[in-house]
């Protein structure tokens, strides 16, 4: 059972310095060929907090470096070593080593009603503008949490800096659930696992007695829906992260699979197979009622809801090959990209097979898996069927999932026949392709919303 995370931002720093109005910005619309140099010296600390400060600093550095938008100025190049959270830095020293932005931090501990907390304060400086930059509207930020949540403090600091410099919503302070795989191919053990967005803090949620697949987070971050082969009967389950309880979703008579929460978390979309056919249903978690969304002799599966909850995208072979379709959740006809009106509109027409569509949290794009010419790709396409772009290519790339801000896509890859699956991520430009470290083989990643 996992303990509910409780890191809390409690205060911003006082405004002691002039605030920059035209400062360092990072344009990420077309991908960054020359990353912005940023210096993040080890946060100031004393006594037992020195190592903690170094650990927090390292996580902040790694988060920002992982975006491909920044380079971290090496510690050995720093000229000024007497930095203080309460003093203006010597900008000339940082200009010499061609650093655009400077992060100054401090870590200490406080005791409140007999309970010890760690506290991290941070300021972001525009070196060439010679001014402090606002973080979330303030001249500095301070984060306080229990000692075991120190990595969340680091992620929150990285989120604040990332948002200030790029204008994008944050995504570091989030988690990823995935399938941890071990053992030989003919006796594979597949367990639910959960970790921080950077691959740290891996915890296993199921024992591996039964194979599990396709986990998905609820919008509240406290539930996971997935498919399990418990008692050799493939069915959709719900897992409560807070208390570790699992339960079957609904009393379906046939195989259910490919679940995903609705945007409000009150329902679960899923696929039910019946006599060789499969259709999409929505299960209300409050009323326990079930409603059929598709009713077609073709195979309809892998539903994902739009951010406004009004539509779903799904995978169907009703046109003769697996393609992506969009429909209204209330079943009413809609105007298709082709110009006609139908209850389900096809949006992909390229060669190959499309599968596992996922609607972006921004609402404008759909990520998918595409198989063509003996290769697999992760791609994106507009909801109007325009602007298809393939971001990756490999022997096997599959199962895209969006980061909370809709800028990064995680998926799993096998590089060659027989190679175990690993988790990867790629940003919307396709330029920043990275492997996410996991202790074992891993597949079916799903990103949580930002943590509270």
Q: Tell me: the pLDDT tens digits for 271-326?
A: 999 988 999 999 999 999 999 999 999 999 999 999 999 999 999 999 999 999 99
> Which tokens belong to 126?
């525009």
- The strand pairing partners of 71, in sequence order, are 37
Q: Quick one: pLDDT at residue 181?
A: 98
What is the side-by-side order of every strand in the sheet holding 389-390? 353-359, 365-372, 375-382, 389-390
Binned at pLDDT 50, 70 and 90, residue 5 comes out as very low
- In this model, does residue 9 exceed pLDDT 70? no
Q: Helix or strand or coil: residue 427?
A: strand
Q: Helix or strand or coil: residue 164?
A: helix
Instruction: Give the contacts of 362 (CB within 8 A, at least 6 positions apart).
Output: 307, 405, 406
Only one residue has tokens 């400077």, namely 102
Of all residues in the chain, the percent with pLDDT exceeding 90 is 87
Question: How far apart, in whole angstroms, are the C-alpha atoms of residue 32 and residue 69?
Answer: 6
Q: Quick one: pLDDT at residue 403?
A: 98
Q: Quick one: pLDDT at residue 232?
A: 87
Question: How far apart, in whole angstroms, are the C-alpha atoms of residue 5 and residue 257?
Answer: 29
What value does the mean pLDDT of the chain take?
92
Q: What integer is the mean pLDDT of 90-113?
A: 96
262 neighbors 275 (Cβ within 8 angstroms): no
Question: What is residue 424's DSSP assignment?
Answer: E
Q: Quick one: pLDDT at residue 30?
A: 56
Q: Quick one: pLDDT at residue 29?
A: 59
Q: Which of 204, 193, 126, 196 is nearest to 154 (CA)?
A: 196
Q: Quick one: pLDDT at residue 258?
A: 97
* CA dihedral for 124, 125, 129, 131, sign (positive or negative): positive
Q: Quick one: pLDDT at residue 34?
A: 86
Q: What integer is the mean pLDDT of 265-275?
A: 95
Strands 396-402 and 389-390: unpaired
Q: Which of 304, 319, 317 is nearest to 383 (CA)?
A: 304
pLDDT tens column, 327-377: 999 999 999 988 899 999 999 998 899 999 999 999 999 999 999 999 999
Question: How far apart, in whole angstroms, are the C-alpha atoms of residue 281 and residue 291?
Answer: 6
Residue 130 sits at φ, ψ, to 5 deg, of 55, 40
Quote the Cα angle for 331-337-341, to 5°.
Answer: 40
Could you give the C-alpha distances from 272 to 139, 223, 264, 314, in angstroms and in order?
53, 21, 22, 14
Binned at pLDDT 50, 70 and 90, residue 207 comes out as very high
Helix axes 150-166, 49-66, angle to 10 degrees: 40
Q: What integer is the mean pLDDT of 169-194?
A: 96
Q: Quick one: pLDDT at residue 21?
A: 47
Instruction: Give the contacts of 121 (CB within 8 A, at least 6 positions apart).
Output: 13, 85, 105, 106, 107, 140, 141, 142, 143
Q: What integer is the mean pLDDT of 71-85?
A: 96
> Which tokens belong to 45?
């600390």
Q: How far is CA 398 from the centre of its chain?
A: 16
Of all residues in the chain, the percent with pLDDT exceeding 70 is 93
Q: What integer is the mean pLDDT of 180-193?
A: 95
pLDDT tens column, 371-422: 999 999 999 999 999 999 999 999 999 999 999 999 999 999 999 998 999 9
Strands 256-261 and 267-274: antiparallel
Question: How far apart, in whole angstroms, are the C-alpha atoms of residue 425 and residue 437?
Answer: 11
Question: What is residue 15's DSSP assignment?
Answer: -
315 neighbors 354 (Cβ within 8 angstroms): yes
Q: Which of 402, 437, 342 is nearest to 169 (CA)?
A: 402
Q: Quick one: pLDDT at residue 14?
A: 41
Q: Quick one: pLDDT at residue 15?
A: 38
Question: How far apart, in whole angstroms, are the C-alpha atoms of residue 369 and residue 375?
Answer: 11
| E strands, 200-352, in order | 203-204, 212-217, 223-228, 235-240, 246-248, 256-261, 267-274, 277-284, 290-292, 300-305, 311-316, 323-328, 334-335, 341-342, 345-346
Cα radius of gyration rounded to whole Å, the chain? 24
Could you give the C-alpha distances from 4 to 1, 246, 428, in angstroms and in order?
9, 17, 32
């Amino acid at each position: 059972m996992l303990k509910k995370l409780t890191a809390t931002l409690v205060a911003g720093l006082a405004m002691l310095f002039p605030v920059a109005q035209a400062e360092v910005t990072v344009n990420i619309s077309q991908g960054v060929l020359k990353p912005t140099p940023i210096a993040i010296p080890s946060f100031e600390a004393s006594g037992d907090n020195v190592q903690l400060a170094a650990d927090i600093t390292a996580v902040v550095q790694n988060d920002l470096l992982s975006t491909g938008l920044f380079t971290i100025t090496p510690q050995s190049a720093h000229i000024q070593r007497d930095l203080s959270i309460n003093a203006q830095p010597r900008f000339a020293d940082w200009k010499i080593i061609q650093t655009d932005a400077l992060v100054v931090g401090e870590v200490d501990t406080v005791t409140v009603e007999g309970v010890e907390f760690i506290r991290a304060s941070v300021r972001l400086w525009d070196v060439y503008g010679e001014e402090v930059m606002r973080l979330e509207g303030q001249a500095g930020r301070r984060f306080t949490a229990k000692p075991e949540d120190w990595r969340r403090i680091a992620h929150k600091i990285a989120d604040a800096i990332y948002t200030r410099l790029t204008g994008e919503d944050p995504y570091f302070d989030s988690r990823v659930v995935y399938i941890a795989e071990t053992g030989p191919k003919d006796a594979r053990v597949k367990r639910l696992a959960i970790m921080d967005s950077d691959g740290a803090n891996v915890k296993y949620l199921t024992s591996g007695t039964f194979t599990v697949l396709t986990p998905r987070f609820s919008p509240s971050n406290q539930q996971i829906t997935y498919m399990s082969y418990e008692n050799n009967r493939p069915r959709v389950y719900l897992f409560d992260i807070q208390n570790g309880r699992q339960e079957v979703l609904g009393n379906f008579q046939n195989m259910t699979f490919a679940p995903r929460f609705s945007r409000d978390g009150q329902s679960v979309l899923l696929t039910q197979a019946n006599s060789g056919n499969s259709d999409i249903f929505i299960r209300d978690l409050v009323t326990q009622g079930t409603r059929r969304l598709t009713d077609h002799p073709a195979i309809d599966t892998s539903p994902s809801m739009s951010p406004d909850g009004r539509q779903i995208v799904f995978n169907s072979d009703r046109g003769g090959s697996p393609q992506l379709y969009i429909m209204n959740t209330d079943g009413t006809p809609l105007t298709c990209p082709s110009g006609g009106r139908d209850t389900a509109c096809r949006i992909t027409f390229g060669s190959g097979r499309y599968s596992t569509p996922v609607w972006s949290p921004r609402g404008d794009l759909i990520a998918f898996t595409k198989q063509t010419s003996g290769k697999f790709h992760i791609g994106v396409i507009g909801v109007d069927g325009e602007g298809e772009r393939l971001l990756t290519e490999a022997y096997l790339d599959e199962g895209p999932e969006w980061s909370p801000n809709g800028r990064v896509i995680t998926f799993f890859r096998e590089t060659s026949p027989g190679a175990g699956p690993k988790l990867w991520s790629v940003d919307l430009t396709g330029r920043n392709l990275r492997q996410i470290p996991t202790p074992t083989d891993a597949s079916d990643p799903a990103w949580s919303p930002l943590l509270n």
